């Protein structure tokens, strides 16, 4: 009993000392900040244990079972971890960046909860009758305080509306309806939603990381610990934009790694807002519009919510009887897709009229090859919810387009191989603007549709057979089995088709395959490095796209490798450099080594071997600060201390293209004999001046070294 009292005294004294120490400004040892980061991990232990113990307590009383020993131990567990959570929470608060008022409520509530949990533990152990009566009220009070503590903790972490954001009671903040982009306010309706979604979680009045609060205009203008973040009209001097463009590996990149990142559209809108003057009050009607902005702003319109009821099952059954295949687009939602499936029989007027009964729910309609005529198509004008409409390879003419002039929701229209003409389509674009229209005719030379410049339409119109109108007639690419592309002696390449009767042709000389190329019948045996290309052919089908693979034959297997500088810990494992597996253009696929230093590697061949070249696979991703090295140097020798220079390959500077790309840098020299080979590739070290991240550290990414 004496030990229990000592423990209680120690816990109370410890909690009191922390509460008294709170608020004093002292330099915090980093070890305390390190331990503070464990607070979010530990805090769930006492909460879960308290709730589970309470449940066991109630069950035991109902069933009249004695779980006292289990409950005492569980409460002791909760008491210990409650005190530990309070201590770690205090350490975490020393980092700063939290709203003082909410932080204090959370801290003192947490300290009180830890104290009550300790008292609860000793109340359960006592034999005193009066103290036993206080046990259950004390338990309920502790659980209520746990809820309060957790709520204020969520405010610190996620903002003050985290708990109530989706509450159906008392928090229905109806937004003003905005149905056209000109009515949007750039800051209020576009920039704020972006900040709320990706930034304000860490930069609000209760959690102020970097002393930066993005929740009000005044705080945005004030900036953070490093000064102003917004320089109106100058994106390059505005950290609000430049921090988004840093490599995700950089400490100053925002949002930090692990947090949801801004999309390209969101970054574009922030950039455009700052470049246009960063006005907090102007409506979009006052800005010069362009196609890019118009398309992006559609996502920020606030439209009235329309409640659509489920379609009557009797109506759906009638549609099925009339030859339609009906399916729901999303489980739990009323929206439907209808496809006429009886293509051997001309669609009837009765079938078309049956669609009207589900006009509110029908958003996709496929009448392809249904022998639809203008007369039968008149029912379409009643289907006001359509978003995708396929009328390709039917008997319609421009008259049918008159039925579509009020289809404001229509996004995709396919009228390929019909009687629709250039004039009819141009006229339709004066009334509606679908996102995409498929248009053209087999065997006829079509004039380009007059659009954009004369009608002002932003619709994308695809013309020609090979642009996706009749997708079913284009073969899928053949499948190349296996991922291995590097081999020492020989390699079998196996191919697989997708349809019965298709023929697969291939080439090994770099030329595009056609029906006169080599016909695939058995696995192809490769004995040399090869640029392998293949595609599928089938009668009455359009041939597939080409599949291309580069197969590399190496002269020797590298037995071991060592490097002067280890790769950065995010991209570890130097064994990847000699495992005969090439990485992809995704630098996070686990097959790449990333270096901030120069790449210096020594290869051990295990014995003296002859060779006449070396190749190294490298990746460039300009947007992520990854650049090709400046050169490739090769040395060799039979002893590590005595190496001779074999040659150097100068690598030209980047072409600044933003797409990730892989290049194989190959250097050839006179045949030589050696056991050890040293490779040096110099990193440019700093991002070049033309880049938005100029001056930051640059990466070199390497994945495979081959001896030729």
| Burial profile 541-565: b = 16 or more Cβ within 10 angstroms, e = fewer | eebbeebeeebbbbebebeebebee
Contact 502, 476 (CB under 8 A): no
pLDDT at 458 (0 to 100): 56
- The pLDDT confidence band at residue 175, using thresholds 50, 70 and 90, is low
Of the candidates 551, 609, 614, 550, the residue with the CA atom closest to the CA atom of residue 577 = 614
| pLDDT tens profile 271-321 | 989 988 989 888 887 887 776 677 778 777 776 656 788 899 999 989 998
Domain boundaries, the chain: 2-158, 181-300, 313-471, 474-553, 560-707
- The pLDDT confidence band at residue 151, using thresholds 50, 70 and 90, is low
Of the candidates 288, 280, 320, the residue with the CA atom closest to the CA atom of residue 189 = 280
Would you tell me how many other CB atoms lie within 10 Å of the CB of residue 595? 21
| Burial profile 599-630: b = 16 or more Cβ within 10 angstroms, e = fewer | bbbbbebeeebebebbbbbbbbbbebbbbbbb
- The alpha carbon of 477 is separated from its chain's Cα centroid by a whole number of angstroms, namely 27
Phi, psi of 676, deg, nearest 5: -110, 140
d(Cα 590, Cα 582) in Å, to the nearest integer? 10
| pLDDT tens profile 94-108 | 665 555 666 677 777
Q: Is the pLDDT of residue 48 over 80?
A: no
Of 25-34, 410-419, 447-456, 623-632, which gets the smallest average pLDDT?
Answer: 447-456
Of the candidates 212, 177, 182, 210, the residue with the CA atom closest to the CA atom of residue 195 = 212
Contact 583, 591 (CB under 8 A): yes
- The pLDDT confidence band at residue 37, using thresholds 50, 70 and 90, is low
Who wins on pLDDT, 229 or 169? 229
Q: Is the peptide bond before 255 cis (omega within 30 degrees of 0)?
A: yes
CA distances from 8 to 14, 55, 86, 115, 139 (A): 10, 25, 15, 9, 17
Of 185-189, 336-340, 623-627, which gets the smallest average pLDDT?
Answer: 185-189
d(Cα 313, Cα 302) in Å, to the nearest integer? 32
**Whole-number percent of the chain with pLDDT over 90:** 29
539 Rama sector, left if φ>0, alpha if ψ -120 to 50, beta otherwise: beta
Calculate the average pLDDT of the chain.
80
pLDDT at 106 (0 to 100): 72
DSSP state, residue 262: P
Using DSSP bridges, classify how beta strands 479-481 and 491-496 pair: parallel, antiparallel or unpaired: antiparallel
Of 76-85, 206-215, 267-276, which gets the smallest average pLDDT?
Answer: 206-215
83 Rama sector, left if φ>0, alpha if ψ -120 to 50, beta otherwise: alpha
Bridge partners, 325 (sequence order): 339
Rounded average pLDDT over 385-401: 91
Task: Give the total residue count for the chain.
Answer: 708
d(Cα 110, Cα 430) in Å, to the nearest integer? 65
Of 192-196, 453-457, 640-644, 698-702, which gets the smallest average pLDDT?
Answer: 453-457
pLDDT at 121 (0 to 100): 76
pTM: 0.37
Domain made up of 313-471: CATH architecture: Alpha-Beta Horseshoe (3.80)
d(Cα 200, Cα 206) in Å, to the nearest integer? 10
d(Cα 405, Cα 214) in Å, to the nearest integer? 45
SS (H, E, C) 283-328: EHHHCCCCHHHHHHHHHHCECCCCCCCCCCHHHHHHHHHCCEEEEE
Rounded average pLDDT over 592-619: 94
Contact 697, 596 (CB under 8 A): yes
Contact 441, 447 (CB under 8 A): no
Who wins on pLDDT, 437 or 177? 437
- The pLDDT confidence band at residue 7, using thresholds 50, 70 and 90, is low
Q: Is the pLDDT of residue 403 over 50?
A: yes
pLDDT at 431 (0 to 100): 82
pLDDT at 207 (0 to 100): 61
CATH of 474-553, one of 3.40.50, 2.60.40, 3.20.20, 3.30.310: 2.60.40
Who wins on pLDDT, 182 or 683? 683
Using DSSP bridges, classify how beta strands 599-620 and 560-563 pair: parallel, antiparallel or unpaired: antiparallel
Question: In 414-532, which residue ranges form alpha helices assigned H by DSSP?
Answer: 422-428
Rounded average pLDDT over 453-470: 50
Contact 206, 332 (CB under 8 A): no
pLDDT at 505 (0 to 100): 94
Q: Is the pLDDT of residue 29 over 90?
A: no
For 670, the enclosing helix (H) or strand (E) is strand 661-681
d(Cα 459, Cα 455) in Å, to the nearest integer? 10
d(Cα 544, Cα 538) in Å, to the nearest integer? 9
Rounded average pLDDT over 490-503: 88
- The alpha carbon of 144 is separated from its chain's Cα centroid by a whole number of angstroms, namely 38
- Quote helix, strand, coil % in the chain, to nearest 5: 35, 25, 45
Domains 313-471 and 560-707 share a fold: no
The CATH code belonging to domain 560-707 is 2.60.120.1190
């Amino acid at each position: 009993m004496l030990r229990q009292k000592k423990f209680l005294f120690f816990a109370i004294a410890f909690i009191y000392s922390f509460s008294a120490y709170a608020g004093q400004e002292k330099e915090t040892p980093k070890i305390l900040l390190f331990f503070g980061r464990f607070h979010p991990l530990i805090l769930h232990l006492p909460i879960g244990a308290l709730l589970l113990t309470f449940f066991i307590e109630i069950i035991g009383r109902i069933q009249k079972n004695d779980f006292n020993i289990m409950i005492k131990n569980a409460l002791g567990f909760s008491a210990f971890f409650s005190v530990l959570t309070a201590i770690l929470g205090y350490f975490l608060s020393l980092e700063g960046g939290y709203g003082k008022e909410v932080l204090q409520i959370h801290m003192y509530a947490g300290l009180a909860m830890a104290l009550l949990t300790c008292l609860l533990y000793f109340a359960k152990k006592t034999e005193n009758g009066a103290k036993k009566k206080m046990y259950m009220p004390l338990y309920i009070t502790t659980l209520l305080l746990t809820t309060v503590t957790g709520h204020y903790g969520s405010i610190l972490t996620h903002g003050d509306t985290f708990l109530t954001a989706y509450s159906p009671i008392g928090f229905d903040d109806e937004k003003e309806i905005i149905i056209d982009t000109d009515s949007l306010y750039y800051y209020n309706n576009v920039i704020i939603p972006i900040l709320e979604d990706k930034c304000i979680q860490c930069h609000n009045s209760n959690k102020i990381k970097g002393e930066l609060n993005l929740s009000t205009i005044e705080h945005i203008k004030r900036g953070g610990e490093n000064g102003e973040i917004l320089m109106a009209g100058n994106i390059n001097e505005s950290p609000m934009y430049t921090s988004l463009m840093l490599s995700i590996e950089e400490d100053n990149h925002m949002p930090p790694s692990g947090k949801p990142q801004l999309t390209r559209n969101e970054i574009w809108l922030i950039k455009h807002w700052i470049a246009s003057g960063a006005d907090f009050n102007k409506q979009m009607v006052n800005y010069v519009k362009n196609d890019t902005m118009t398309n992006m702003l559609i996502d920020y319109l606030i439209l009235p919510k329309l409640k659509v009821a489920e379609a009557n099952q009797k109506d759906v059954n009638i549609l099925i009887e009339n030859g339609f295949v009906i399916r729901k687009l999303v489980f739990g939602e009323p929206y439907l897709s209808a496809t006429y499936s009886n293509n051997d029989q001309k669609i009837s007027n009765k079938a078309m009229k049956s669609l009207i009964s589900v006009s509110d729910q029908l958003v996709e309609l496929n009448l392809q090859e249904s022998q639809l005529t203008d007369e039968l198509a008149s029912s379409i004008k009643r289907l006001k919810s359509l978003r995708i409409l396929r009328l390709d390879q039917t008997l319609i003419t421009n008259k049918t387009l008159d039925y579509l002039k009020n289809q404001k929701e229509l996004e995709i229209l396919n009228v390929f191989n019909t009687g629709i003409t250039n004039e009819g389509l141009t006229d339709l674009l004066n009334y509606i603007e679908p996102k995409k229209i498929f248009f053209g005719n087999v065997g006829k030379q079509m004039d380009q549709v007059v659009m954009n410049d004369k009608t002002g339409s932003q619709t994308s119109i695809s013309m020609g057979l090979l642009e996706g109108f009749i997708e079913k007639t284009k073969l899928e690419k053949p499948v190349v089995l296996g991922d291995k592309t590097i081999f020492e002696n020989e390699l079998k390449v196996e191919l697989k088709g997708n349809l019965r009767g298709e023929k697969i042709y291939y080439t090994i000389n770099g030329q595009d395959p056609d029906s006169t190329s080599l016909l695939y019948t058995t696995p192809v045996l490769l004995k040399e490095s090869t640029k392998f290309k293949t595609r599928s052919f089938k009668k009455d089908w359009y041939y597939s796209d080409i599949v291309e693979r580069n197969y590399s034959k190496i002269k020797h297997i590298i037995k071991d490798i060592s490097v002067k500088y280890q790769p950065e810990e995010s991209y570890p494992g130097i064994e990847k450099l000699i495992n005969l597996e090439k990485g992809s253009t995704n630098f996070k696929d686990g097959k790449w080594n990333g270096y901030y230093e120069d790449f210096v590697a020594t290869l051990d061949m295990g014995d003296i071997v002859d060779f006449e070249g070396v190749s190294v696979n490298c990746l460039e991703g300009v947007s992520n600060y990854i650049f090709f090295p400046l050169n490739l140097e090769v040395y060799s020798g039979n002893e590590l201390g005595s190496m001779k220079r074999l040659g150097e390959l100068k690598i030209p500077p980047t072409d600044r293209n933003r797409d990730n790309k892989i290049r194989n840098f190959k250097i050839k020299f006179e045949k030589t004999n050696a056991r050890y080979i040293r490779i040096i590739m110099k990193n440019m070290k700093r991002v070049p001046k033309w880049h938005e991240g100029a001056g930051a550290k640059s990466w070199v990414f390497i994945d495979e070294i081959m001896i030729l």
